[in-house]
Structure 1
């Protein structure tokens, strides 16, 4: 074996050792090992699931709160065609002037964040810490025109950022 080859093997060996040392130090000094575990939160605060769900995992109830009949059915079908789990379609007596209202509990934070993108961030959020289920109520208002396209949803999700736990709750993720 020539001297140049031995020197190259020594250099590559030294680089491998240095890389291994960096990896071990990074793992030991990792300060995010408990991220998403809600440490430091008061015991009585609800744990808000801030995992951004896939459409097929999001359960919704669609309610018409407009003066136009049949809007909930149309929007419900639109959501079904986009692979959402539409549980109930109904009318609500009280009309709202905005685009939509999303009502949800601690288990529906990530789902509500995704749904908000379908209204381009213009849906009003109503968080209820007492709510036990992971279903989000989508209440359609008089300002609603149509759901966003896939491209618009992706852009809106980028604008909205990551889901955030509502005040008075602790963020947790349900990563598998």
Structure 2
């Protein structure tokens, strides 16, 4: 075996050992091992379900916060065609200037995150810590034009990132 080959094998072997040492150190000193769990949260804080739901598992109520007649029914049908569980369609008492407002509680955090993508991240969020159900109220405002396409929704979900627990709540441990 030539000296050049021996030297190359020694260098490659050394690099492999150094890489292995770095991996072991990174795993041992990992400070994010409890990331996404409710460890360290005060006992009285609500646990927010930050699981990104599938369309068929999301329950919504659609409200028309504009002066356009029939908007809630029309958008409700659009959501039904996309496999959402639309429980109610009605008019909101006061008009909304935003594109939409999403009202939800701790059990609806992941669902609201998915719905926010249908408004390309332009929906205002109203988190109610006292709300006991997993239903999200979608209040359509004067700025609403149309729901995003499937491609736009997927891109928006990528842009929005993973759902996070709202302030004053902790993420629910995985598997609960």
Give the shorter-chain TM-score range: 0.7 to 0.9
Could you say if the C-alpha distance between residues 164 and 146 of structure 1 is closer, same or farther in structure 2, counting changes exceeding 3 Å? same
Unaligned ranges ≥5, structure 1: 1-18
Number of aligned residue pairs: give it.
175
* Alignment partners' CA distance in 2, 1:56 and 1:29: 40
CA offsets per residue over residues 128-152 of structure 1, 9 Å max, x none?
Answer: 0001111101111121110000111
Distance 2:173 2:157 in 1: 18
* Partners of 2:160 and 2:26 in 1: CA distance: 31
Deviations 1:12-45 (CA, angstroms, capped at 9, x unpaired) = xxxxxxx999998877665544333211111111
Q: Which residue of 2 aligns with 1:4?
A: none
Task: Say yes or no: does 1:138 pair with 2:128.
Answer: no
Q: CA RMSD in A?
A: 2.9
Question: How many Å separate the matches in 1 of 2:113 and 2:93?
Answer: 24
TM-score normalized by structure 1? 0.79
C-alpha contact (below 8 Å) 2:104/2:126 kept by paired residues: yes
Structure 2: segments with no counterpart, 5+ residues: 1-18
Are the aligned partners of 2:63 and 2:92 in contact in 1 as well (CA < 8 Å)? no
Distance 1:65 1:88 in 2: 17
Seen in structure 2, the aligned counterparts of structure 1 residues 117 and 93 have a Cα distance that, compared at 3 Å, is closer
Q: Does 1:61 align with 2:61?
A: yes
Match of 2:112 in 1: 112
SS of the aligned residue for 1:139 comes to strand
SS at match of 1:80: helix
Q: Provide the C-alpha distance between the structure 1 equivalents of 2:111 and 2:36, rounded to a whole number of angstroms.
A: 17
User: Are the aligned partners of 1:119 and 1:147 in contact in 2 as well (CA < 8 Å)?
Assistant: yes
The 8 Å contact of residues 38 and 170 in structure 1, kept in 2 or not, is answered as yes
**Residue aligning to 2:95:** 96
Name the TM-score, length of structure 2 as normaliser: 0.79
Query: 2:100 & 2:58 partners in 1: Cα distance?
Result: 17
d(CA) in 2 for partners of 1:158, 1:27: 27
Q: Which residue of 2 aligns with 1:12?
A: none
Deviation at 1:93, TM superposition (A): 3.9
